[in-house]
Structure 1
Amino acid sequence: MTGPLDGVVVLDFTERVQGPYATQMLGDLGADVVKVERRSAVTPDGRADERYAMDGQPKPTSLYRATFLANNRNKRSIALDLKSEEGREVAQALVARADVVYENFRPGAMERLGLGYDDCALINPEIIYVSASGYGTEGPYVAKPGQDVLIQALSGMGTMNQAADGRPTPVGMSISDVLGGLNGAAAVLAAIVHRDRTGEGQRVEVDLLGSALAAMSEHIVHFANNHPGEPVRETPMHGHGYIPPPYGFYATEDGYIALSSGRQISEICALIGMPDLSLDPRFDTFDKRNENRAEMEQLLEERLRTASTNHWLSILEPADIFVAKVNSLEESLTDPQVVHTGRLQTVTGPDGPLTLVASPIRFSRFTDDRVDPPPVHGHDTADILAELGLPADFLSSATSEGALR
């Protein structure tokens, strides 16, 4: 067995991040993920088969291509025209042998192709059918485009992450997409357990807005029940609108460090050589530290700026202070803990070595570390058709008709 989902077949009708991230997790867990792709260009950035540089061309450098490579390892690819009769015939045959169908198109798109939940359940009553969308399958926003930065705006996440001047600021990664993918993968696992117990398939829904709100529940529960007002950052170093100093990032002589524990103020002050701020009448309670956060943070940073990051780490870490260096992206990839625990993996793709981020999940009973690189567009079409047992002449006739690639 290559993982706990060995033998589970996932039919992947997903693009961009939310859906592919979820199905990649299922592939990491051992599922056979069959990615159903369009036959031709998917965005102006380039054709889907240009995700790798072929025939001696320069390696692909666009973020769009990197996005595909980052979210589609451990999958096979079949390229179909789902608007053609032959393409739909293949898709329906795939549904018949699948355990899970996962799609992340706008609500209604799969139904128009004859591949909605009701259509698939007629073919395979035990199918687990996941619809991942921006806003869910009903409500006033159902027809709107759902995309990560739009969700950050609508959910309040951008305001929660505001800059010190009060300007709403998006998180610098596709955070809503990743959260939606995590929730979708978890939902599939639960639905598989339910099906194994009862024999019942079902439709599962996950969306970006709901996932973003769920991730913000600490803030939302506090806001809705205690009425503290909107979270405010006020200073560049402050890390959380409802947590007072020293929670945040502080400048040193040559970089930044993070401090996170209000219970260690006395120890921190003694170690860095400044008066105990926990005894200062401006900062001697949680509420006072929150009200006077700018003053407290300024005092801390003035002291921390007098020496290097490594100097402060050498003093604070041995005392078990909650402290860390603020890494650049390059530094994070060479961090000793990241290197020691193998958080990056190198696989061999059509271009040669390809660095990917490893799955964060590890099992004591599954030790197969094999990772397949993201598939070349349509690379597995012939093999997958052969597995379906379709007539021998189907591939050539459907290819000539433009239904497959």
Structure 2
Amino acid sequence: MSGPLDGVTVLDFTERVQGPYATQMLGDFGAEVIKVERPSALTPDGRADERYQTPGEPAPTSLYRATFLANNRNKRSVVLDLKSADGVRAAQRLARSADVLYENFRPGVLDRLGLGYDELAVDNPGLVYVSASGYGPDGPYRDRPGQDVLAQALSGLGQANRAPDGRPLPVGLSITDVLGGLNGAAAALAALIHRQRTGEGQRVHVDLLGSALAALSEHLVHLLNSDAPEPERRTAMHGHGYIPPPYGFYATADGYLALSSGRQIPQICEVLGLPDLTEDPRFADFAVRDEHREEMEQLMESRLRTRSTAEWMELMVARDIYAAPVLTLDEAARDPQVTSTGRIVTVEGRHGPVHLVAPPARFSGTPLGPPTSPPAHGEHTEQVLSALAAGSTGGSRR
């Protein structure tokens, strides 16, 4: 077996992160993903696309190389010029046998090229056609350029994450791209189940703004259904504007420690050598703890600073307290929970090994096969087009 989507073909017209993240998930789960690329592949800042490090060259410093490698494993790359009649015809022929077509152009672009849903569904009525965009297929922002940090701004995410001095802060990763990819992959799977039951395909829309708002639903529902003000962090250590301490990252003697459970305040205080703070009227319940957030955090952090993170973790694990060390990216990649469960995988690239993050899901009945390396630009064009001429899109990618 090669995953639960073995036998499903995905025609991938996506670039950057939101779309490629979603189609990579489908590829991870066993789908045959054919990535249709422009004849000239460029990075977002207009330079020639760089995917693999040339042997002997210094380690790359550009994020764009990693962005492609991180979001395009388990795919085959085909170069088609969609500005030419031949290129469009080849794409149309590929779409006739595809189960899913996934694109993240601005709304209307593929329609103008003759690759819109209405046209393709005539020959392939079971096609699941997923369109991922910045703001959706309608509304006043429909034709604006969409991008992760812009969606963070418009959704309120940047303000919800603002610093104690009031300055809004973007999250330090392309979070709405990832959320959009997750929602798009889930929607594609739902549409495939519907097709399995009815034989009907359909068009699916997903966008960055809607995905960000959905992720903020806890905040928005609280705000819209109560007299609560905008969430406010107030202190740099605090993790959620509507949850009182302990909930955040607290300084130790040599780093930081995360704590997250108000139910365990007596146990935390016992470990820290503090009196039970729930018996203090300033911290006795949820509401007053929030009102006196800074005072409680200062009391806890003054004790935490007396020992190392590792020393505190040993004590807290022994008491089953909700706690974790705050790790750097490098430390996270080397953490025993990560290494012992295979969360980082190594595949053979064009010039040597490439380290990738493993798919997050596991299946008992249809286990996932080992991932394939992200493709070179146009690496499979001849293979796929030759198979298309012979009446198929080729065999399994495995």
- Give the TM interval when normalised to the shorter protein: over 0.9
**What is the match of residue 211 of structure 2?**
211
Question: Partners in 2 of 1:87 and 1:10 — Cα distance?
Answer: 18
**What is the match of residue 250 of structure 1?**
250
1:226-251, CA deviations, whole angstroms, 9 ceiling, x for partnerless residues? 12110000001111000001111100
- Which moved further from structure 2: 200-209 or 301-310? 301-310
Contact 1:346 1:353 in 2 (8 A): yes
**What is the match of residue 394 of structure 1?**
none
The 5 Å alignment of 1:183-262 reads: 183-262=183-262
Report the Cα offset of residue 272 of structure 1.
1.0
Question: Partners in 1 of 2:247 and 2:80 — Cα distance?
Answer: 51
Question: Partners in 2 of 1:62 and 1:123 — Cα distance?
Answer: 42
1:239-295, CA deviations, whole angstroms, 9 ceiling, x for partnerless residues? 100000111110001000011000111111111101211111111111000111011
**What is the match of residue 42 of structure 1?**
42
* Long gaps (5+) in structure 1: 392-405
**Alignment partner of 2:225: what SS?**
helix
The 5 Å alignment of 1:3-402 reads: 3-43=3-43, 44=45, 46-48=47-49, 50-54=50-54, 57-58=57-58, 60-389=60-389
Question: Partners in 2 of 1:126 and 1:282 — Cα distance?
Answer: 62
Question: Partners in 1 of 2:266 and 2:368 — Cα distance?
Answer: 48
Q: Give me the CA root mean square deviation.
A: 1.3
- Percent identity between matched residues is 65
List 4+ stretches of structure 1 deviating above 2 A: 41-48, 53-61, 366-369
Report the Cα offset of residue 54 of structure 1.
4.0
Contact 1:51 1:60 in 2 (8 A): no
Question: Partners in 1 of 2:129 and 2:194 — Cα distance?
Answer: 13
Question: Partners in 2 of 1:280 and 1:58 — Cα distance?
Answer: 58
Task: Label 1:57 to 1:326 Cα distance change in 2 as closer, same or farther (>3 A).
Answer: closer
Question: Partners in 2 of 1:59 and 1:271 — Cα distance?
Answer: 45
Task: Label 1:56 to 1:120 Cα distance change in 2 as closer, same or farther (>3 A).
Answer: farther
**What is the match of residue 400 of structure 1?**
none
Report the Cα offset of residue 303 of structure 1.
1.1
Report the Cα offset of residue 46 of structure 1.
3.1
Question: Partners in 2 of 1:302 and 1:321 — Cα distance?
Answer: 19
State the TM-score, normalized to the length of structure 2. Answer: 0.96
- Which moved further from structure 2: 143-152 or 112-121? 112-121
**Alignment partner of 2:316: what SS?**
helix
Contact 1:240 1:247 in 2 (8 A): yes
The count of corresponding residues between Structure 1 and Structure 2 is 390
- Amino acid across the alignment from 1:46: R
Contact 1:59 1:351 in 2 (8 A): no
1:352-400, CA deviations, whole angstroms, 9 ceiling, x for partnerless residues? 0100000001011233432100001101011101111269xxxxxxxxx
Question: Partners in 1 of 2:133 and 2:287 — Cα distance?
Answer: 40
State the TM-score, normalized to the length of structure 1. Answer: 0.94
Question: Partners in 2 of 1:324 and 1:86 — Cα distance?
Answer: 56
Question: Partners in 2 of 1:98 and 1:315 — Cα distance?
Answer: 55
Contact 2:41 2:377 in 1 (8 A): no
Question: Partners in 2 of 1:177 and 1:380 — Cα distance?
Answer: 27
Contact 1:92 1:123 in 2 (8 A): no
- Which moved further from structure 2: 85-94 or 38-47? 38-47
Contact 2:55 2:351 in 1 (8 A): no
Contact 1:45 1:64 in 2 (8 A): no
Report the Cα offset of residue 165 of structure 1.
1.2
**Alignment partner of 1:33: what SS?**
strand
Question: Partners in 2 of 1:116 and 1:367 — Cα distance?
Answer: 34
* Long gaps (5+) in structure 2: 392-398
Contact 1:52 1:59 in 2 (8 A): no
